[in-house]
C-alpha cells in the first residue's frame, strides 16, 4: 500500500481517493516488471498514472537510433585526463611492474575492475557527458501547457495538506486551474490538427508517405492482372471475374453444413417475422 492514491478527485466540497494499486500481468512478465510507482504529475485526470519498468532484451515499436556513448570526447580535457590517470594508477598499484606480477585469473579480474573504476572516475571529472537531443514530445505540446499542468498538480497536492478553514478556497483554486488547463490543451490539439490539415508543401500528404516507403522498401515488379485457370491465361475481364468468385463466392445452400443450415433457418424466421409485422 503506497501513500499516493491512484484515484484522487474533488466533488463539491469533499475529496475522494482510493488506493487500488494492483497491476495484473502474466506469469512470464512477473520477473520483468520493476520500479512500480504512482505519479501524480503524469496526467490531469482524476486517476493518477502508474509507472513501472519492463526489462526486455529489445524494444518494440518505432526504431530510434541510439548511442551507448556517455561522454562527449570532443570536449574532453585530455591533459587533465592523463595527469589524473597516472596519479590514480600509481595510488591503486596499477603500475607496469605490479601488473606483470599477476599470476592468477582472480588477480586479473580484480585488476581489470580497478582499471575500469579509475577510468570511470576520471571521465566524470575530465569529460562532459553527452546531452540527449532526442525530442519525442507531442506536436501540440508547449511550455505554457507544461507550466499549467505543473500548477494543476501542485494545487491538487495542496488539498491533501490544507487546513479545514482553507480547504474550500484550495479546492476552488484547483478546480479552476484544472478546467483552464484542460480547455487550453483541447484547444491546442484542435489548432494543431487544423494546421496539419491546411499544410501545403511541394508534395502532398500521400506523396510524402510514398516517398518514405520508397526509400525503405525494395522496388518490385508490377504484378500482371491476368490470371491463369487450369493452365489457361485469362483475359483482364475473366481475371476480375475469377477474383470476385474466389473472394466473394455465391451463397449457395447446397454447400451448407449443419451449422450453416441452422443459421440460414433462423435468418429466414427473422425475415418472415419482419415481413408479417
The counts of H helices and E strands in the chain are: 8, 6
**pTM > 0.85:** no
The pLDDT confidence band at residue 59, using thresholds 50, 70 and 90, is: very low
pLDDT of residue 234: 77
Residue range 112-139: mean pLDDT, rounded: 81
Separation CA 153–CA 48 (nearest Å): 10
Q: Would strands 7-11 and 49-54 be described as parallel, antiparallel, or unpaired?
A: unpaired
pLDDT of residue 184: 92
Window from 30-39, 79-88, 175-184 with minimum mean pLDDT: 30-39
Separation CA 52–CA 36 (nearest Å): 4
Q: Which of 10-19, 52-61, 221-230 has the highest mean pLDDT?
A: 10-19
Q: Residue 148: count other Cβ atoms within 10 Å of its Cβ.
A: 20
Residue 52 near residue 34, CB atoms below 8 Å? yes
Separation CA 250–CA 259 (nearest Å): 18
Residue 138, CA distances (Å) to 131, 177, 242 in order = 20, 22, 48
Q: Residue 46: count other Cβ atoms within 10 Å of its Cβ.
A: 16
Burial class (CB in 10 A: 0-12, 13-18, 19+), 59: exposed
State the first-to-last Cα distance of the chain, in angstroms, to the nearest integer. 60
- Site of grid cell 556517455: 70
Going by the DSSP 8-state scheme, the letter that residue 129 receives in this structure is B
Q: Which residue has the higher pLDDT, 252 or 227?
A: 252
Going by the DSSP 8-state scheme, the letter that residue 47 receives in this structure is B
Q: Which of 28-32, 47-51, 97-101 has the highest mean pLDDT?
A: 97-101
> According to DSSP H, which parts of the chain are helical?
78-91, 96-100, 105-126, 143-161, 164-198, 205-216, 236-247, 258-276
Burial class (CB in 10 A: 0-12, 13-18, 19+), 270: exposed
Residue 157 near residue 44, CB atoms below 8 Å? no
pLDDT of residue 199: 67
User: pLDDT digits over 190-220, tens only?
Assistant: 998 888 777 655 556 566 666 666 655 555 4
Amino acid at each position: 500500500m503506497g501513500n499516493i492514491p491512484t484515484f484522487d478527485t474533488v466533488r463539491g466540497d469533499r475529496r475522494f481517493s482510493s488506493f487500488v494499486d494492483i497491476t495484473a500481468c502474466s506469469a512470464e512478465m512477473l520477473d520483468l516488471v520493476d520500479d512500480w510507482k504512482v505519479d501524480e504529475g503524469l496526467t490531469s485526470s482524476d486517476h493518477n498514472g502508474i509507472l513501472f519498468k519492463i526489462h526486455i532484451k529489445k524494444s518494440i515499436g518505432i526504431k530510434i537510433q541510439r548511442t551507448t556513448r556517455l561522454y562527449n570526447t570532443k570536449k574532453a580535457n585530455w591533459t587533465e585526463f592523463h595527469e589524473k590517470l597516472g596519479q590514480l594508477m600509481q595510488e591503486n598499484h596499477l603500475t607496469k611492474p605490479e601488473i606483470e606480477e599477476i599470476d592468477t585469473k582472480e588477480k586479473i579480474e580484480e585488476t581489470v575492475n580497478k582499471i575500469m573504476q579509475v577510468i570511470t572516475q576520471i571521465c566524470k571529472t575530465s569529460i562532459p557527458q553527452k546531452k540527449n537531443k532526442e525530442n519525442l514530445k507531442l506536436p501540440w505540446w508547449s511550455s505554457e501547457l507544461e507550466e499549467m499542468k505543473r500548477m494543476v498538480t501542485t494545487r491538487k497536492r495542496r488539498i491533501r495538506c490544507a487546513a479545514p478553514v482553507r480547504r474550500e478556497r484550495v479546492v476552488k483554486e484547483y478546480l479552476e486551474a484544472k478546467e483552464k488547463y484542460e480547455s487550453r490543451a483541447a484547444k491546442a490539439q484542435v489548432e494543431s490538427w487544423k494546421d496539419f490539415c491546411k499544410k501545403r508543401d511541394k508534395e502532398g500528404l500521400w506523396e510524402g508517405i510514398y516517398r518514405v516507403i520508397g526509400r525503405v522498401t525494395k522496388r518490385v515488379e508490377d504484378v500482371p492482372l491476368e490470371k491463369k485457370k487450369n493452365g489457361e491465361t485469362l483475359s483482364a475481364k475473366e481475371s476480375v471475374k475469377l477474383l470476385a468468385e474466389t473472394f466473394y463466392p455465391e451463397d449457395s445452400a447446397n454447400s451448407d453444413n449443419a451449422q450453416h443450415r441452422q443459421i440460414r433457418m433462423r435468418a429466414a424466421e427473422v425475415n418472415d417475422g419482419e415481413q408479417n409485422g
